[in-house]
Amino acid sequence: MIRTKMQIVIVVIVIVFEGMLEANRQIQWPKTRNAIQKDEEWMKERSHESRAQINSVKRSNTNTPPSSVAFTYKIYDDTDEISVGDTVKFDTQIFDNTGSFDPSTGEFTAPSCGMYVFMLNIRSNQGKVCWIDIIKDGGERLATAFAQSSDKVHDGDSTFLTIYLKEGDKVWTKNHGYQGTVCTIDFDSSFAGFRLN
């Protein structure tokens, strides 16, 4: 008899416990669903706010000049012969945060006015003499790098300058032509510039 009463008590406890679990499930799931919905709504609001902020920054960037301007390009492979007066086309981008340098033309176009620094590093191929100028709109020579390599040894030179540019001014490099000679420069040559803030 005690055993039967004990079994009945256990059965009752199990039934009560299962009832409590079911009641708890019915209470907890709607809360969880509501919490998930609230979280989803919150994330959507933040997403719209973020998109609005990004669009605002994009709009403001089209109306104001970039806060910094910097580029560095190099020669991918030794150049073909560069004739006297031809532009040196630095074709491999290392860094260009504004896209202001066009490797297809070899020209930098100032996106805004300010003081700019330009650096030119050349290394002539063996047996070649290279006189490369940094040029500004109107053909004004700003700086020169000169390298004269022997048949066995490369020679290099570097130059830099600081100049004030107006928006839209162009700067590039060209073969000055030492005594009317063509030149070739190798892949260690580079052209870089940045605006002083």
pLDDT 10s digits, 28-66: 555 556 666 666 666 566 655 555 555 445 445 555 556
Q: What single-letter amino acid sits at 146?
A: F
Q: What pLDDT, on the 0 to 100 scale, is given for residue 169?
A: 96
CATH number among 3.40.50.1780, 2.60.120.40, 2.40.30.10, 3.30.230.10, domain 69-196: 2.60.120.40
Burial environment of residue 122 by CB neighbours within 10 A (0 to 12, 13 to 18, 19 or more): buried
The helix/strand/coil state of 19 is helix
Q: What is the pLDDT of residue 163?
A: 95
Q: With contact defined as beta carbons under 8 Å apart, do 178 and 130 qualify?
A: yes
pLDDT along the chain (197 residues), means of 10: 58 54 53 62 58 50 68 80 80 93 95 95 77 89 83 80 95 81 77 92
Mean pLDDT of the chain: 76
The pLDDT value given to residue 59: 45
Domain ranges of the chain: 2-63, 69-196
Distance CA 86, CA 84 (A): 6
Report pTM: 0.63
Sequence length of the chain is: 197
